[in-house]
């Protein structure tokens, strides 16, 4: 079957991952296409966003060497910069992925009134991310609108869920492939066993409740971030060593709309 993406891409690592992400949607669609019409969808929205990203986690140095993009595999000591770069995409995203829909739900429920839209946004940014605006803000500004999903009225919790699901899917595929070693170095490229395991879940579409679909794939019936922790373990150990004696965290701002410099 000839399937293609219509998108403008460049020869960058980010676009290489994006291609995997978008193809994940496509191959999920193709996998459940034989289900009755009502079941032709992802087990939940988070599944759909996690499929391609789970495969993209297999973009390891070993994989890149196999497909001829690098000439030699760097030693484990070189993993820290790669893990740090990926953590800035995956870990740092989690609080933002959560707060976008927290803001939306507060607005829809009426808990936050129009007169406080911007204040509520920066209160959440401060609470979950420790982020302050670069300049003073007021209710004449509408900073939430800078995020596409806000004016487009598109649910965002799916991305928060997907950031965790993808590591669960990935770990399950690595186990099925018989991989043993640090999780961040696993590539399931070429593993028919991992592929069959993954495809069986994809073919379910929405015909089973998502906990059942997840359990069939991973043996777990709930969202579980332990796979993410396992993946980033080398980086976590390194950061603990680097941050010895250093105070971490932040103190919530008294006025979240005041500029950070003040």
Closest CA to 130 of 162, 99, 85: 99
> 143 to each of 135, 201, 258, how far by Cα in Å?
12, 39, 13
Whether 178 is covered by a domain: the verdict is: yes
Whether 142 is covered by a domain: the verdict is: no
Domain count, the chain: 1
pLDDT tens figures, 57-99: 999 999 999 999 899 999 988 999 999 999 999 999 999 999 9
Whether 149 is covered by a domain: the verdict is: no
Per DSSP (E only), the strands in the chain are none
Whether 41 is covered by a domain: the verdict is: yes
Structural domain boundaries, residue 19: 13-76+162-224
Q: What is the C-alpha separation between 254 and 256, in angstroms, rounded?
A: 6
Whether 52 is covered by a domain: the verdict is: yes
- What pLDDT sits at residue 151? 96
Whether 236 is covered by a domain: the verdict is: no
Residue 261 has pLDDT above 60, yes or no: no
Distance of CA 111 to the CA centre of its chain: 28
Q: Which two tokens stand for residue 81?
A: 């910069």
pLDDT tens figures, 161-217: 999 999 999 999 999 999 999 999 999 999 999 999 999 999 999 999 999 999 999
Q: Residue 11's pLDDT band (boundaries 50, 70, 90)?
A: confident
pLDDT tens figures, 132-152: 999 999 999 999 999 999 999
Closest CA to 18 of 27, 28, 7: 7
Handedness of CA 4, 191, 158, 27 (dihedral sign): positive
Question: How many CB atoms sit inside 10 A of residue 66's CB?
Answer: 14
Closest CA to 87 of 228, 241, 183, 227: 228
Whether 85 is covered by a domain: the verdict is: no
Q: What percent of the chain has pLDDT over 90?
A: 90
What average pLDDT does the chain have?
Answer: 94
Whether 126 is covered by a domain: the verdict is: no
Q: What percent of the chain has pLDDT over 70?
A: 99
Closest CA to 221 of 207, 209, 206: 209
């Amino acid at each position: 079957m000839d399937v293609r993406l219509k998108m403008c891409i460049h020869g960058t690592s980010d676009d290489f991952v994006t291609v995997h992400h978008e193809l994940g949607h496509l191959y999920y669609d193709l996998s459940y296409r034989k289900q009755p019409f009502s079941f032709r969808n992802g087990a939940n929205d988070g599944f759909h966003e996690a499929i391609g990203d789970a495969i993209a986690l297999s973009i390891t140095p070993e994989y890149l060497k196999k497909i001829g993009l690098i000439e030699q595999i760097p030693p484990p000591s070189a993993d820290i910069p790669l893990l740090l770069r990926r953590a800035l995409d995956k870990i740092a995203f989690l609080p933002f992925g959560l707060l976008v829909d927290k803001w939306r739900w507060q607005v829809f429920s009426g808990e936050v009134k129009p007169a406080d839209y911007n204040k509520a946004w920066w209160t959440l940014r401060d609470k979950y991310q420790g982020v302050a605006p670069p300049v003073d803000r007021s209710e004449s500004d509408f900073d939430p609108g800078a995020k596409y999903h806000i004016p487009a009225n598109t649910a965002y919790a799916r991305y928060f869920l997907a950031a965790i699901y993808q590591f669960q899917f990935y770990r399950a595929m690595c186990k099925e492939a018989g991989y043993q070693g640090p999780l961040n170095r696993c590539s399931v490229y070429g593993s028919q066993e991992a592929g069959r395991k993954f495809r069986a879940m994809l073919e379910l579409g929405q015909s089973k409740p998502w906990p059942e679909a997840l359990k069939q794939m991973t043996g777990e019936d709930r969202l579980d971030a332990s796979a993410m922790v396992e993946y980033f373990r080398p980086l976590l150990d390194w950061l603990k060593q680097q941050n010895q004696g250093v105070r971490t965290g932040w103190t919530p701002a008294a006025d979240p709309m005041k500029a950070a410099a003040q």
